[in-house]
Copies of this chain bind each other. A is one copy, B any other.
Amino acid sequence: MKRLEGRRAVVTQVSAFMGRDVAAMFREEGAEVVADDRDLRAAGAAEALIAEAGHVDVLVANLAAEQPRTSVLDTDDATFRAMYEAMVFPLHRLVRAVLPQMLARRRGKIVVIGSASALRGAPNYSAYGSARGAQLAYVQDVGTEVAPHNVQVNAIAQTFVQNPTYFPESYQRTDEFKERIRGAPIGRLAHGWESAALALFLAGDESDFFVGQVFPFAGGWVTR
């Protein structure tokens, strides 16, 4: 028996970040996957996606924006705000749109793919890292709120995972990358499927006891 047999999952922004890997693994494990790629920054987009999807057992909130890599002084208002428009405000709209059916069924899973950069400081991360921090605190609060209704909301806080948005092959050849990876005790990037396997664990029945929790996934670079 496959682990997501009979489940219907929505994966957002599927061309970016962990979208393709999660969709592939979920399908392998029997899920019917709505792999969506619309721009969720637009008003109404999140709500439309959920309405079109219909029955949703699992929402994988996979939201990404290019890390601007600017110093605090060089991060203008538009750059800063863009992180929130892409990763924080749509998260709330997605969750708010999908929760009613999950609460009504007393069954549902929301997995937020977030970043370990919200758990440990780094230079030139103020815009990106703070938006990722908002995501993790959001998951803690919503996860706690809906826990008594048997809906589980959790987050992956990852880094050093192969993906087209943050660790494309071109980046892996840079000196910056080679220096950064030295900070990970495991000394390698994760394959995309390894992060997807954690998402799978959090989407399945095995993990029902986890609520509002953040899972660092960083090869030891950060573990709490």
Q: Which A residues have a C-beta under 8 Å from some C-beta of B?
A: 43, 71-73, 75, 77, 80-81, 84, 88-89, 92-93, 95-96, 99-100, 117-127, 129-148, 161, 185-187, 190, 194-195, 197-198, 200-201, 206-217, 219-220, 223-224
Between-chain CB contacts (< 8 Å), 5 pairs: A84-B84, A84-B134, A121-B223, A213-B220, A214-B223
Q: Which of A126, A137, A208 has the most CB of B within 10 A?
A: A137
**CB-based nearest B residue for A191:** B209
Chain B residues, Cβ within 8 Å of A71: 145
Copies of this protein in the assembly total 4
Given contacts A73-B100, A137-B133, A206-B197, contact A144 B118 (CB under 8 A): no
Known contacts A88-B130, A213-B220; A124 and B145 CB within 8 A of each other: yes
Q: Which residue of B lies closest to A215 (CB)?
A: B215
Residue contact B217 to A210, C-beta cutoff 8 Å:
yes
Which of B133, B200, B209 is the one whose CB lies under 8 Å from A136?
B133
Closest partner residue, chain B, to A150 (CB atom): B186
Chain B proximity of A60: nearest CB distance (Å)? 17
Q: How far is the CA of A147 from the CA of B185 in the complex (A)?
A: 6
Indicate whether A138 sits within 8 Å of B148 (C-beta atoms), given known contacts A219-B211, A220-B211. Answer: no
List the B side residues contacting A211 at CB < 8 Å.
185-186, 219-220, 223
Shortest Cβ distance from A125 into chain B, in angstroms? 4
Kindly list chain B residues whose C-beta atoms are within 8 Å of the C-beta of A121: 139-145, 185, 212, 220, 223
Task: For the complex, give the distance between the alpha carbons of A77 and B85 in Å.
Answer: 12
Q: Which residues of B contact A208 (CB under 8 A)?
A: 194
Determine the residue in chain B with the shortest Cβ distance to A92: B80
